[in-house]
Structure 1
């Protein structure tokens, strides 16, 4: 049994820090590089495990050496990998992240084994035994099956659909979600008009709009809260949104659950922004801080 199940992409990241993002036919100098696990579902699972939650992961990797690197790193972080599917004759999805001196990111990647988890691969007992399910970008039919299984079992659901939202029909998964994470671009793609109060357009769901260095907004049926974010010397924004999501969920889950009507969303938003800022101040996608590190950061702000 785990407290939180995360589901979606599991990658191997190769991060190249360059002096500037290259233009067509141009060239950039590589200042440093690192290799580590990535993928939003895996990043959130690792972050929650680092905040002392029992986290489990639903995703897929290949049976290649890279897949073994991914599994080893996840297990070392304390993530339950019993439902991490190993796909024969597939490469583990690899992302090449090119990061400039301002922390801006350009991503290249192969399809690999990332979306080989089908609805038939979903283990209802594993999902139903958790307190919460967090979905990230993946096959829409699998996301829907996971969300439906969780809802039927009384498990709360959050969904961070990611940059491919406009290309994919996540309608069923969104219909089962209690909390939806979006950035400004994704919010414009999903919502018809009301960007100020997205909860009303998404039928009373809690909607979190991430605005990068400008902070974030959380909109609920009973109120809306904004936080301007924190000044941070961004080194690498890769994974900062995943750290943000993990931080917000961690506070809400510790305080009684993501759908608790008395939840302190304002505090959760501040904590999440601090997680995102700390993640952006370090290299790689697996830089989510511990509770103690976030609290120390917040103490230093006031």
Structure 2
């Protein structure tokens, strides 16, 4: 069983079901509201666990009701939370997801305890990181912690996967140099590289730019269209997404990354097959509501692929 460690965020998601985004000054009635466990890091960990990996988590929650909700959710999926700190006097991270009738979403994040994750948390999990096959991180926790974790991972020849979200133009070159695989969506790729990702040529240009910035291998996800990969050895290609009726796209990208890392070999030679598997998992996620509640199991993904 592949061992995956996730350094990342835990958020209590409040999902606001709305007809459309309100204009400035507009009062708009919601159709519904619900709460579910989320956070990019937690979602990716849940996806990896449900799809067959042994998963450890590094992060932080507040010593509050939402923190306990999120810990309970991870533990219910069998994820090791020994390295999730419970901080007093700090609120657990939260996300407010405005889900429109057409299934698109807009998300506001309150970092809370996630912003307190630091090098000490990483140092405490050093042995866990070095015993892993893959380390995954995002940018909902401080970059200094991610850099420290990636240094530890590469010292032990552990594969590093970076989901640069929320995106920033100022990713340290040192971090990208330690990144084996970077996985942005098209919006994030544009923010980081300055290249609008609109067609095959621009996907290739953005991927090459990310490699010039230091990342070895690149996968750019482009929503309902699919995913483009460009590897260090020059191999590249596009894998179309499965056509499904989307209900809620929340956690689709997180499911993709969790699924991808469970299937991707250490040499990444099977990248196209791994992307196809990840696309299938994400396709199931968008057909359900909520982040973690919609993430599929391995049996569900295998059944969907025939």
| Pair in the same fold by TM > 0.5 | yes
**Aligned partner (choices 259, 279, 295) of residue 273 of structure 1:** 279
Q: Is the 8 A contact 2:59 2:84 kept in 1?
A: yes
Residue 157 of structure 1 is matched in structure 2 by 160
Asked if residue 106 in structure 1 is aligned to residue 106 in structure 2, the reply is yes
Q: Is the 8 A contact 1:2 1:56 kept in 2?
A: no
Unaligned runs of 5+ in 2: 196-201
User: For 1:245, what is the secondary structure of its paired residue?
Assistant: helix
* C-alpha distance in 1 between matches for 2:215 and 2:276: 22
Question: How does the TM-score come out when normalised to structure 1?
Answer: 0.91
* C-alpha distance in 2 between matches for 1:185 and 1:110: 21
Asked if residue 219 in structure 1 is aligned to residue 226 in structure 2, the reply is no
Q: How does 1:68-79 map to 2 (within 5 A)?
A: 68-79=68-79
* C-alpha distance in 2 between matches for 1:204 and 1:173: 9
Residue 242 of structure 1 is matched in structure 2 by 254
Q: Is the 8 A contact 2:173 2:214 kept in 1?
A: no
Residue 28 of structure 2 is matched in structure 1 by 28
**Aligned partner (choices 216, 224, 230) of residue 205 of structure 1:** 216
Q: CA deviation at 1:265?
A: 1.3
Q: Is the 8 A contact 1:191 1:201 kept in 2?
A: no
Q: Is the 8 A contact 1:188 1:195 kept in 2?
A: no
Asked if residue 297 in structure 1 is aligned to residue 304 in structure 2, the reply is yes
Asked if residue 196 in structure 1 is aligned to residue 204 in structure 2, the reply is yes
User: For 2:260, what is the secondary structure of its paired residue?
Assistant: helix
Q: CA deviation at 1:56?
A: 0.8
Q: CA deviation at 1:204?
A: 6.6
Give the count of matched residue pairs: 292
Residue 148 of structure 2 is matched in structure 1 by 145
Q: CA deviation at 1:109?
A: 3.0
Question: How does the TM-score come out when normalised to structure 2?
Answer: 0.90
Q: Is the 8 A contact 2:59 2:121 kept in 1?
A: no
Q: CA deviation at 1:202?
A: 4.7
User: For 1:30, what is the secondary structure of its paired residue?
Assistant: coil
* C-alpha distance in 2 between matches for 1:189 and 1:96: 22
Q: CA deviation at 1:2?
A: 8.1
Q: Is the 8 A contact 1:49 1:78 kept in 2?
A: yes
Unaligned runs of 5+ in 1: none
Q: CA deviation at 1:62?
A: 0.4
* Deviation readout 1:216-240 (Å, 9 max, x if unpaired): 1011123102012121211111110
* C-alpha distance in 2 between matches for 1:110 and 1:209: 26
